[in-house]
Amino acid sequence: MRKGNQLLGSLLLLLCFCTGCGSSRSDTAMSVQSAGGSKDAGIYTNSYAVEEAAAAEVSDMDMADAADQNTIAEESAVSTERKLIKEVELSVETENLEELLKELDGQIQRMGGYIESSRQYSPGWDLEEYGTGSRSASLTVRIPAEKLEEFLGNVAEKSNVTYRSENVRDVTLQYVDMESHKKALLTEQERLLDLMEQAENVEDIITIEGRLSEVRYQIESMESQLRTMDNQVNYSTVYLDISEVDRMLRTSQKKGVWEQISTGFIENIYRVGDGLRNFVIRFIIALPILAVWGVVIAAIVLIVRRILKNRRKKKELIETQKGQEK
């Protein structure tokens, strides 16, 4: 009943506007001619009336639907499933970087995901060639939300997880609010199109088209934001950092006291041996540089010794000449 009264009122408003156009134009033209003015005043008055009519239509629509928007939003929030955006940060270790990357790429493709970005780092040629450096990689992976835990479990099986952090954002209310706003804009667009069909001159069309362009731009913006949000909800994001190590030490399993002591002792022995090995390798690699520096230092020492020797001889000669003069 309420919507019927609104529709009747809108039709009466349009009817009055259409029937009054002729008289308005004639009255305006007469007043302008008597004052010595131009016909621009009539155009301005007619354009202003169209804007008022469009504003009245939109205002009636807003007043009619304002009481129902909260109810629609609440019902949509109940009927719409929760919109959760999940992000996981993961740091792992592996003994073979290429093999792990190849396995992960296969798993991601089988699960229907994709790698959004990837970066790999390799140290200098001398460290990489002799095994004293470490390589690493960073991946941004998009995985279907329903297969996130499966993917994380596979990563944990193929590597040693050293850090894990999860973040979940509930955007259900924001999503529902954007959908409600989009529906309101679509309704306004339809009413503006109806007014466009009833417009009688160029000024009215320009005025309505201006507002129609704004509404369409807002609708496209809303649709873009909704698509982005759907992608973030449907595909979880995993930030994966991979480090290549010579030896993995898994710490995820709980160990007893003596087992921890023995494991730590063996690990320290390994670190000492690895440190000595790296020192020997680095020393041998640096021998050419050390030889050059040795030659330079030896030359400097010889020059300094020769200078000191010449000074000493000169001093002795002066003392001998003084003794002869006496």
Q: Does the residue 67 lie in any domain?
A: no
Kindly report the pTM of this predicted structure: 0.57
| Amino acid making up residue 157 | E
- 262 domain residue, yes or no: no
What percent of the chain clears pLDDT 90, i.e. is strictly above it? 44
Residue 326's pLDDT band (cuts 50, 70, 90): low
Domain assignment present for residue 46? The answer is no
Domain tally, the chain? 1
Mean pLDDT of 98-113: 94
- Domain with 208, as residue range(s), is 83-246+278-287
In a domain, 32, yes or no: no
Sheet with 84-94, strands from edge to edge, namely 114-121, 136-144, 235-244, 84-94, 160-170
215 pLDDT tier (thresholds 50, 70, 90): very high
Is residue 238 in some structural domain? Answer: yes
Q: Residue with structure tokens 């629509």?
A: 61
| 56 inside domain | no
Task: List the single range of 78-87, 145-154, 226-235 with lowest mean pLDDT.
Answer: 78-87
The secondary structure of 214-261, three-state, reads HHHHHHHHHHHHHHHHHHHHHEEEEEEEEEECCCCCCCCCCCCHHHHH
Mean pLDDT for the chain?
76
* Count of beta carbons in the 10 Å neighbourhood of residue 235: 21
In a domain, 323, yes or no: no
**pLDDT above 80: residue 14:** no
pLDDT for residue 259: 72
Domain assignment present for residue 200? The answer is yes
